Amino acid sequence: MRLSVNIDHVATLRQARKGRDPEPVTAAALAELAGGHGITVHLRADRRHMQERDLYLLRETVRRTLNVEVAATPDGLAVMKAVKPDQVTLVPERPEELTTEGGLDLLGRRAEVAEYLALYREAGITVSLFINPDAASVRAAVKLRPAIVELNTAEYGAAAAGAARDAALDRVREAARLAAKGGLAVHAGHDLNYLNAGGIASVGEIVEVSIGHALVARAALTGIDAAVREMLARLNGSKEEA
């Protein structure tokens, strides 16, 4: 199972002060050194976390797959054509949302998605479509023939352990089977964490997961010990070093 590390929230932290720290590009390098198979960022229309500058730096430095989540808009397309990431994941975007709220509406907005799929293909950029794990969405995606579908695991992630989570996992499993049968590479993501990622890893057809919030949240906590010790050493000299 490949892991694409979503580093959006490193930029969220930086944008809290609109300064230079922490640099997402540094987080990306460390994530790759730790074995991450790729880096994912979301370029939102409001640029609330990732900035265009980040994308250019990442394009220069990411050694494995750089995947950018973006809405199907002229602005997104123009930036992607300039940056040329390895992969673009088309996602729906609502300005007020805290995070992506669901998969693409491939039934209602099929023509729009098809148009952008063709434009990205023309630009030589691999496209993934973020979709809900239901048969109608998967069938619609198979007809559009992107290289990849990313199944939305938000429902699975939100479900309490037990029958509800098992049922949500069954839906993801069935959608993955259908998508793979339709010739698409199957990825998954959203709300995966240290407690629930194992279930998704058990779905054979899913070859990659994209995880962000849980990883950056864990990194913030596990890094506190070293960060405090290093600051005490600066403040008080080597006698404070553990």
Active site residues: 42, 69, 190
Smallest separation, CB 239 to ligand PXP (Å): 41
* Contact assessment for residue 71 and residue 49, using Cβ atoms and an 8 Å cutoff: no
Smallest separation, CB 3 to ligand PXP (Å): 11
In this structure, what is the dihedral angle of CA atoms 176, 182, 187, 189, given to the nearest 10 degrees? -50
Smallest separation, CB 40 to ligand PXP (Å): 7
DSSP 239: G
User: Which residues contact ligand PXP by CB under 6 A?
Assistant: 6, 8, 42, 69, 89, 91, 99-100, 130, 150, 189-192, 210-214
Sign for the pseudo-dihedral over CA of 173, 177, 180, 182: negative
Instruction: Pick between residue 218 and residue 229 the one whose CB is nearest to ligand PXP.
Output: 218
Measured distance CA(141)–CA(116) in Å, rounded:
13
Instruction: Pick between residue 148 and residue 192 the one whose CB is nearest to ligand PXP.
Output: 192
* Contact assessment for residue 79 and residue 100, using Cβ atoms and an 8 Å cutoff: no
Instruction: Pick between residue 25 and residue 91 the one whose CB is nearest to ligand PXP.
Output: 91
Q: Which residues contact 140 (CB under 8 A, 6 or more apart)?
A: 106, 107, 110, 131
